[in-house]
Amino acid sequence: MKIAIIGAGYGGMAAAYDLRKAGHDVTIFESANYVGGLASGFKEPHWNWSVEKFYHHWFQSDSEMLGLIHELGLEHKVQFQRPLTMMLHKNKWYAFDSIINALLFPGLGFGLNKIRFGFVGLFLRLTNNWKALEKVTADEWMMKWAGKQVYEQMWKPLLIGKFGPYYKDVNMSWMWARIKARTTRLGTFEGGFQKFADLFAEKLREQGVEIRLEAKVESIKQEQAKLSVRSEKGIESFDKVLVTTSPNLLAKLAPDLPENYLKGLLELKSMGAVVMTLALKHSLSKEGYYWFNVPKDEGYPFLALVEHTNFVSAENFGGDHIVYAGDYLELGHEYFSMSDDELLERFIPAFQKFNPEFSRDWVRKIWVSKTNYAQPIPLVNHSKNIPEIKTPVEGLYFASMSQVYPWDRGTNFAVEIGRKAARLMK
């Protein structure tokens, strides 16, 4: 069969890998001039590694991703470390990366709250019954079982940070999935995620997959028994097409989809993201901390501050210290229209809270990455609202972050859903 895949992110490339191995003729259309999608990165001439546009790491539980890397014979390039994750309490940062540290965290006191925190954490780690949890919001469930103080100190800031005004609508299985699947050891690829994506693309090309970069698809239409794909580079017919973009974009690209499927696509909600990457002359966290969970109600202008070079050595970046400051935001938020310099001015006072010595002249260079589609919002009973991978249009398939569930989206699940789509298409 002649198959087109729209998008050279991890989902599209994983699907291409399996479809090509099954003997199909596969072409990937990618609008950008690079592969890797949301997990792509960039590199300065004096860096040996790339940095991701949006901070990325793997968990040890990312078996689909690690399994694929193994199949590609690249497992020796995966590096796992245990960098320090921090939580704020009364203007002081505390390590929050192990059960012992969680038990020592003073934000919960040392009485009943700590016991409730422990039991709720244990229950969520042990249960597999996410179907029961998706019937209720995380806000209601946590308030009831973890209690007001534990919820407000620990979990509510996380929900607000990720989902902003929708935080009360997110279902409890999302929270379950985060607690269940995450590990304290975090992984990356030698050279950065872009290096992995490039090696994967190289492998696909060797196998005979055609990857067309700067080939933005404009429409997919039914034409007798085929699907015609119109891109910036012309029109071409395929037996089957897999789309890996956002639901909104699929709705625009494929007008032949019936009304109920289109409605389902358009009702899915998601958050965007804005992430600033800074190359600094000095390290921001004197203590060597990697990840700071920043509670928005403390007045910080971002949700996460991540000193990447406390995870990957600054030597790989010619001595530059790489820091990310990022946030999940609703479309239309002012950060989407602010210039890079305006955003930097907004962030500088916050950087000084992490290190009072920080000054403007520490900044060697900044980059700001923005995306409308960063984090799907799973509402109550979300499993009933997920569009099928096989769409009602004959030959047209859809595999996106919005169908990753009950797990929280990530490259691991992009690989999983891409491979699932490939199995359905064969």
Q: Which residues bind ligand FAD (CB under 6 A)?
A: 6-12, 29-32, 37-39, 54-58, 216-217, 244-245, 249, 273, 275, 326, 371, 374, 400-401, 409-412, 414
Q: How far is the CB of 245 from ligand FAD (least distance, A)?
A: 4
CB 65 within 8 A of CB 54: no
Nearer to ligand FAD among residue 175 and residue 211 (C-beta): 211
Q: How far is the CB of 131 from ligand FAD (least distance, A)?
A: 23
Burial 190-208 (b: 16+ CB within 10 A, else e): ebbbbbbbbbbbebbeeee
Nearer to ligand FAD among residue 248 and residue 355 (C-beta): 248
Q: How far is the CB of 92 from ligand FAD (least distance, A)?
A: 26
Q: How far is the CB of 418 from ligand FAD (least distance, A)?
A: 7
CB 159 within 8 A of CB 138: yes
Q: Which residues lie closer than 8 Å to 413 by C-beta, 6 or more apart? A: 64, 401, 404, 407
Alpha-carbon torsion, ordered 382, 384, 388, 394, to 10 deg: -140
Nearer to ligand FAD among residue 14 and residue 142 (C-beta): 14
Nearer to ligand FAD among residue 106 and residue 255 (C-beta): 255
Q: How far is the CB of 30 from ligand FAD (least distance, A)?
A: 5
**DSSP label at residue 7:** -
CA distance 266 to 260: 10
Nearer to ligand FAD among residue 38 and residue 175 (C-beta): 38
CA distance 42 to 194: 7
β-pairing, 2-6 vs 291-293, is: unpaired
Q: How far is the CB of 215 from ligand FAD (least distance, A)?
A: 6
Nearer to ligand FAD among residue 113 and residue 244 (C-beta): 244
Q: How far is the CB of 181 from ligand FAD (least distance, A)?
A: 11
CA distance 21 to 167: 42
Nearest to 321 by CA among 295, 345, 286: 286
Nearer to ligand FAD among residue 10 and residue 362 (C-beta): 10
